[in-house]
Structure 1
Amino acid sequence: MNTAAFADTPTTRCAYYRRTCGLPAGIHPDIGRIVIKAGLVGGITMPAALGQRVRDDLLHRRFTLGPIIAHIRSHRWTYLVRPDLPNDIRLAPALLHLNVSIVPYGGEIALPSPADGPAHRQWVIPPLDTFRPSGLTIIAAVQASAPREPLR
Structure 2
Amino acid sequence: MTHAHTVAATQDSPQSRSLFYRRICGLPTFVDPATGRIMMSAGSTGAVMMPADLAQRVKVELHRRNVGPCPIIGHPRAGTWSYLIRADMHPIGDPAVVAQLWRARVVVVRDGDIALPSPGPGHQVARTWVVAATTPFRPSGTTVLACVRELLDADKPRDRSAH
**By the TM > 0.5 criterion, same fold?**
yes
Deviation at 1:97, TM superposition (A): 1.8
Tell me, in whole angstroms, the C-alpha distance in 2 between the residues paired with 1:10 and 1:57.
Answer: 33
Does the 8 Å contact 2:87/2:110 carry over to 1? no
| TM-score scaled by length of structure 2 | 0.84
Matched, 1:148 2:152: no
Number of corresponding residues: 151
Q: In the superposition, relative to structure 1, how do residues 66 and 151 fare at CA in structure 2: closer, same or farther (>3 Å)?
A: closer
Deviation at 1:138, TM superposition (A): 0.2
**Rg bigger for which structure?**
2
Question: Residue by residue, what CA displacement relative to the aligned partner does 1:58-102 show, whole Å, maximum 9, x if unpaired?
Answer: 112222232100011001000000011101222422211211000
Runs of 4+ in 1 over 4 A off after TM superposition: none
Question: Going by fraction, where is helix more abundant, 1 or 2?
Answer: 2
- 2:25 is aligned to 21
RMSD over aligned CA atoms reads 2.1
Unaligned runs of 5+ in 1: none
Unaligned runs of 5+ in 2: none
- 1:87 is aligned to 91
Q: Which amino acid aligns with 2:53?
A: A
Q: In the superposition, relative to structure 1, how do residues 70 and 30 fare at CA in structure 2: closer, same or farther (>3 Å)?
A: same
Tell me, in whole angstroms, the C-alpha distance in 2 between the residues paired with 1:67 and 1:123.
Answer: 8
Q: SS at the partner of 1:35? A: strand
Matched, 1:108 2:85: no
Q: SS at the partner of 2:18? A: helix
- 1:44 is aligned to 48
Q: SS at the partner of 2:155? A: coil
| TM-score scaled by length of structure 1 | 0.90
